[in-house]
Amino acid sequence: MEQKNNFPIHTCARTDSIFPPSLHTIPHAPHILYYRGCVSSSPRIAIVGTRKASPEGKKLAYHVAYELASKNWCVVSGLAFGIDASAHQGACAARGCTWAVLAHGLDTIQPTHHTALAQEILTQNGCLLSEYPAGTPPYPHQFLARNRIISGVSTALIVIEAPRASGSLATARAAAQQGIPVFVFPGPAASPLYYGSHELIRSGARLVRTLDDIYTDLQTHPQLAHIQKNSFSLTPIQTEVLSLIHHAQKPISVEYLIEKTSQTPQSIYATIALLMEKNYIHEIGPQLYTDSS
């Protein structure tokens, strides 16, 4: 994929404010991430599954991603064929945010067939993310390694059509080790496309029939209830500003928010006003703001 001037490759160190906080605690946490696009702090849910998905599986992934993106969730996946691509497409169709975590340098797109999809992700304030610098080819072992990042940047994981040897099973195991809820859509008992899915359910993953099951579980999960509450009421810009204020652990100025978000002063002032109105933040001095939680 030829790099566009308006979507250059940036680096993000573990000490940077935009580095996803949840990645600090995963096994073999990356010290540097490379990204193109917008690394917003919107709440994120990963959707994974087989590359050789059925038409029904692709349709389900598209629908689930569309509905989640419509409710301000950012959909995370791996830009592969099958379930991944359908999830990204569904989020884009909803004009929502989606992240693609890649297993190679961001100067290329693999598979090349998804070059246009990658560009669409970027034009809709999404993100291409990798732990590998430009020029790194897609070695097979890197696809397995990147699964821990897909789950690590997410607050929950949804599995759709996972056969016996699906890479999504490794992602689900990583999520379970990270304490992230794993949701699985079941299928026909005899279908080889669902062998791994059913094994996950037998191992303790959450069987889901509809998105309402996921919403209910997220609302009652002790670590995710606050995120779920915010995800349906805050825009991506509001979520990003709130996250910066929350993680700063000190009063934050308007100038700091403008610098870190690259938003216009008018946009930041409007965002602050809405967050104050919703009682998420409060003013403690002239143009100084802190978390209300």
Instruction: Give 275 or 190, the one with higher predicted confidence.
Output: 190
Residues 147 and 286 in one domain: no
Residues 247 and 218 in one domain: no
Residues 221 and 247 in one domain: no
Residues 223 and 242 in one domain: no
Residue 2 lies in a domain: no
Q: What distance in Å separates the CA atoms of residue 116 and residue 91, rounded to the nearest whole number?
A: 15
Q: Is the pLDDT of residue 76 over 50?
A: yes
Q: What is the pLDDT of residues 162-205, one digit of tens each?
A: 999 889 999 999 998 888 899 999 999 999 999 999 999 999 99
Domain of 220, in residue numbers: 10-229
What 8-state DSSP symbol labels residue 103?
Answer: S
Mean pLDDT, rounded, for 71-82: 94
Instruction: Give 293 or 106, the one with higher predicted confidence.
Output: 106
Residue 4 lies in a domain: no
Residues 161 and 282 in one domain: no
Task: Tell me the percentage of the chain whose pLDDT exceeds 90.
Answer: 55
Q: What is the pTM of this model?
A: 0.75
Residue 1 lies in a domain: no
Mean pLDDT, rounded, for 146-172: 93
Residues 111 and 241 in one domain: no
pLDDT for the residue 229:
43
Residues 220 and 239 in one domain: no
Query: How many domains in the chain?
Result: 2
Of 192, 210, 229, the residue at which a domain comes to its end is 229
Task: Compute the 3-state secondary structure of the chain and give helix, strand, coil in percent, each to the nearest 5.
Answer: 45, 15, 40
Q: Is the pLDDT of residue 4 over 70?
A: no
Residue 3 lies in a domain: no
Closest by CA to 125, choosing from 41, 15, 247, 32, is 41
Amino acid at 23: L
Residues 246 and 278 in one domain: yes
Residues 198 and 264 in one domain: no
Amino acid at 244: L
Looking up residue 240, the CATH number of its domain turns out to be 1.10.10.10
Helix or strand holding residue 151 (H, E): helix 140-152
Q: Is the pLDDT of residue 211 over 70?
A: yes
Of 213, 229, 245, the residue at which a domain comes to its end is 229
What is the pLDDT confidence band of residue 10, given thresholds at 50, 70 and 90?
Answer: very high
Annotate 268-285 with three-state secondary structure.
HHHHHHHHHHCCCEEEEE
Residue 5 lies in a domain: no
Instruction: Give 87 or 257, the one with higher predicted confidence.
Output: 87
Residue 75 lies in a domain: yes
pLDDT for the residue 293:
54
Residues 23 and 61 in one domain: yes
Residues 41 and 89 in one domain: yes
Of 205, 229, 253, the residue at which a domain comes to its end is 229
Q: Which two tokens stand for residue 63?
A: 């629908």
Q: What distance in Å separates the CA atoms of residue 88 and residue 99, rounded to the nearest whole number?
A: 8
Residues 279 and 182 in one domain: no
Looking up residue 48, the CATH number of its domain turns out to be 3.40.50.450
